[in-house]
Amino acid sequence: MDLFSLTLHEIRDMMRNGEISSKEVLDSVYGRIEAVEDKIEAYLTLTKDYAYEAAESIDKRRLKGEKLGDLAGIPMAVKDNISTKGIKTTCASKMLENYIPPFDAHVFEKLKEAGAILVGKTNLDEFAMGCSTETSAFKITKNPWDLERVPGGSSGGSAAAVAADEAYFAIGSDTGGSMRQPASLCGVIGFKPTYGAISRYGLVAFASSFDQIGTFAKDVEDCAIILNYLYGYDEKDTTSLPIEFGDFKEALNKDIKGMKIGLPKEYYDKGIDGEVKEMILDGVKVLERLGAHVEEISLPYAKYAVPVYYIISSSEASSNLARFDGVRYGYRAKEYKDLEELYVNSRSQGFGSEVKFRIMLGTYSLSSKCYDTHYNRALKVRRLIKQELEEAFVKYDILITPTYPTIASKIGEKSEDLVAMYMSDICTVTANIAGIPAMSIPCGFSKGLPVGMQIMSKAMGEADIIKAAHAFEKNTNYYKNKPTL
Ligand code: GLN
């Protein structure tokens, strides 16, 4: 049996029963990485020495009879925009190519305390801006199901690592869909929490009113286990919610009879591939057979979600990224005549073209000429989209949509057409605009490639998502399919 191919909870049980050690689990995962990483290129940095030291310490504690938690000795991956003390955190940008953070992100600290073991930092679109992981300054991660295709983005490295069994779970960030979208294209679970539920302390900021940290998992039970460790108030993040979410494992194995599901028709419209749509509707039928009530609904403001998202997120990015000037942070150009040229050259050479485009778009939207017509108007429409969703959740427990309009595209296919690329965020950005939780769960295959179904709930309704997702998974088992590598 290949240990690397098991789920987190299966490997946890084996370690608890004394059948295997944490070191053996790590050997298996690094063996897998050695075998497939050349093809996938999910990682930017591997942390082998660090990982073996951590595994040894877990094994010692276990031998002494210490009772260890669910994550003790579990190999994980972390997206390279999440700070790891003493370990490079590049944001896949030349700007931070040599940046070694002097502190840990809150989530990484919590995961370490729980005994999870970092195997490496994963690739992403530069500063998490993108939908395909093609804007990374360092490498293009491949989709494990078809090496000529993108894994999705921006957390493409994390999603591909889990799909290719190069880690049992992976942490990523989601500003407009960057967890759910690659999860959908790689056939794993991707979860984005309620805004403020997971601390972002130590996440390199892209668009602060949207950014959230979330997780990729092999199955729903694993997802519930990981979320238990990520959630919780953190005084170092001023947007952190002082709320107790309870044990997510309690939402597993629940009856979904009577659950009310809304299908917003705008998300099943033209632009969504026919076969993808069919898979989602088949998935909804599974839930209906289990006793859920399903109705079509309408969210007329949904069509404005993509422009609203791109205007506000780029505005926030232009401000957040101002700190990378070659003086306070980041790459410094070798040649410059004066201070101004130092800034200009450092930023021109340090940032890639997608990041520069967002900074310009944001600066333009915030300029005195455009502030009211662009930025302020987008804020107003954001409120309408939020209200519309809040009203829908008075009647429905969850909403189900596709996660992504198509299957994974070929590398290079969409990167020339920015509008097509941005429009493909149509299904995911709404949850970030409204600050609500959402999950993508595998729901079938089209042309041999994975398709994900998105489940959203009202803010703080994550238990409903887990409940529905687990019921779906138990009756379908799509997660058991693995790519041949
Ligand atoms: N694709 C979206 C963007 O490029 C979302 C990215 C993200 O969630 N980090 O902005």
Residue 416, pLDDT score: 78
Q: How far apart are CA 420 and CA 411, in angstroms?
A: 14
79 catalytic per annotation? yes
Q: Where do runs of H (alpha helix) occur along 208-304? A: 220-230, 274-289
In this structure, the number of other CB atoms found within 10 A of the CB of residue 113 comes to: 12
Tokens of 236: 């170092």
With tokens 């579990």, the residue in question is 74
Give tens-digit pLDDT for 24-71. 999 999 999 999 999 999 999 999 999 999 999 999 999 999 999 999
**Phi, psi at residue 97, to the nearest 5°?**
-50, -35
Choice from 425, 429, 432 to test ligand 1 binding pocket (greatest atom count within 8 A of CB): 425
Give tens-digit pLDDT for 461-478. 999 999 999 999 999 989
Question: Is it the case that residue 270 has pLDDT exceeding 90?
Answer: no
The pairing of beta strand 293-297 with beta strand 260-264 = parallel
Domain 3-256+438-480 is classified in which CATH homologous superfamily? Answer: Amidase signature (AS) domain (3.90.1300.10)
* Domain chopping of the chain, boundaries: 3-256+438-480
Contacts of 168 (CB under 8 A, 6+ apart): 6, 7, 8, 11, 29, 74, 75, 76, 162, 218, 222
Residue 477, pLDDT score: 83
Choice from 178, 320, 404 to test ligand 1 binding pocket (greatest atom count within 8 A of CB): 178
Give tens-digit pLDDT for 197-242. 999 999 999 999 999 999 999 999 999 999 999 999 999 999 999 9
**How many whole angstroms from 165 Cα to the centroid of ligand 1?**
24
